[in-house]
Structures are given as C-alpha cells and as structure tokens.
Amino acid sequence: MTSAPSLLERRAGRAERDRHIPGEAGLWILIFGDMTVFAVLFAVYLHNRGAQPVVFAKSQETLNRNFGAINTLLLLTSSLLVVLATRAVRGQARKHAPRLVAGAMACGLGFIVIKIFEYHDKISAGLTPSTNKFYMYYFVLTGVHLAHLVVGLVVLAVLGNLARKPELTSTNLMFFEGGACFWHMVDLLWIVLFPLLFLVR
C-alpha cells in the first residue's frame, strides 16, 4: 500500500489529518511565490494604466480579443485534461492517462501558436515594447507567462512519461500531482492576465 490516501479515504475524510497536500509542501512555496510575483506585476500594470488611461485604452483596442479568449479556452481545456489524467493515474483508467496528458500538451502548443500569430501581428504593425508603456507591459507580462507555459510543457512531458510506467510509486504520484498543480497555475495566471490586458478599460 502506498502512503497516498485512496479515493475513498479522501472522499470520506474531512478531518484535518485526512486532508492532503497536492504534490508536496515545498512546491507550494514556489507556486504561491510565483503567484505573488504576478500579483505585484498586475498591480504595477494597473498603477501605470491609471497614469495614462487614454494611451492604455487606445493601445488595448489594437489587441485581438479573440486570440486572448481562445487561448483562455485552450488553457482551461488543458487543465481539465490534466485533472482527468491525474484521476486516471490514481485509479483504474491508467491506460487513458498518456493520451490525456498528450491532449493537454496539444492545447498548450496551440496557445504558443496563437501567441506567435499575436506577436507577429503587433511587431509587423510596428508595435513593440518600446512603443509605449502599454505595449511594454503587454510584452513583458505575456512573455513572462509564456516562459512559465514552456516550463509547464516540459513538466507535462515528464508527466506523460510517468503515465506510461506500469507501476507508479507514491513519490511518482506526488510528483504527478505537483506537476499538475504547476500547469494549473499557468492556467490560473492567464485567467487574470487576459481580462487585465485585453478586456478591462
């Protein structure tokens, strides 16, 4: 028997001792640390927007909202697939897990393709980080997020390999949960970035 609690135990137990840290505690320092850094970036962006509301609103008009929204849907879908993959490796439907992870990765790659189109549109129209403060923040925030997404894809590739193993140890399962949470964080950060950069004005 592994040390990871079974599904039944998890469902039944609401007592504090039965509660379960997804992945491991150290990972959550990284995740909350990253989320805090992004929260500061959100604040800096909004603070600068307050100083130049017209510049920000006019520049935002040039963004393609559909690209941003489709990317949101892609990440939400990839997150769902990772949740289903996590359930699969824990339970009976193990054989589905590699395909679910591959599907999540495909959504992540789709996000990158759309971002390339988006950046290409802007840069070929002469809109670069040096154009004004809005574009500076747009490129920095989406760029830092994209870097996280690329790291997330590498993590998913590792999870995909784990999912193919015939037996998973409790350490393997813990790593799977942790990697899944990192991917959900990439999704979660985009959920705030998309409205901030594309919608709110």
Partner 1 sequence: MTTMLRTRASAIWIVLVLATTLSWTLGSESGFGTESHKIASVVILVVALFKVRLVGLYFMELRDAPTALRAIFEFYCAAVCAMTIGLFLFA
- Measured from the CB atom, the residue of 143 and 195 that comes closer to partner 1 is 195
* SS3 readout for the chain: CCCCCCHHHHHHCCCHHHCCCCCCHHHHHHHHHHHHHHHHHHHHHHHHHHHCHHHHHHHHHCCCHHHHHHHHHHHHHHHHHHHHHHHHHHCCCHHHHHHHHHHHHHHHHHHHHHHHHHHHHHHHCCCCCCCCHHHHHHHHHHHHHHHHHHHHHHHHHHHHHHHHCCCCCHHHHHHHHHHHHHHHHHHHHHHHHHHHHHHCC
To partner 1, the closest distance from the beta carbon of 120 in angstroms equals 22
Tell me which of 93, 116, 125, 158 binds partner 1, using CB under 8 A. 93
Q: Residue 37, interface with partner 1 (CB under 8 A)?
A: no
Q: What is the per-residue binding string for partner 1 in 161-180, x denoting contact by CB under 8 A?
A: ----------------x--x
Q: Residue 199, interface with partner 1 (CB under 8 A)?
A: yes
Residues that bind partner 1 (CB under 8 A): 10, 16, 19-22, 28, 32, 35-36, 39, 42-43, 46-47, 49-51, 53-54, 57, 60-61, 65, 69, 72-73, 76-77, 79-80, 82-84, 87-88, 93, 96, 177, 180-181, 184-185, 187-188, 191-192, 194-196, 198-201
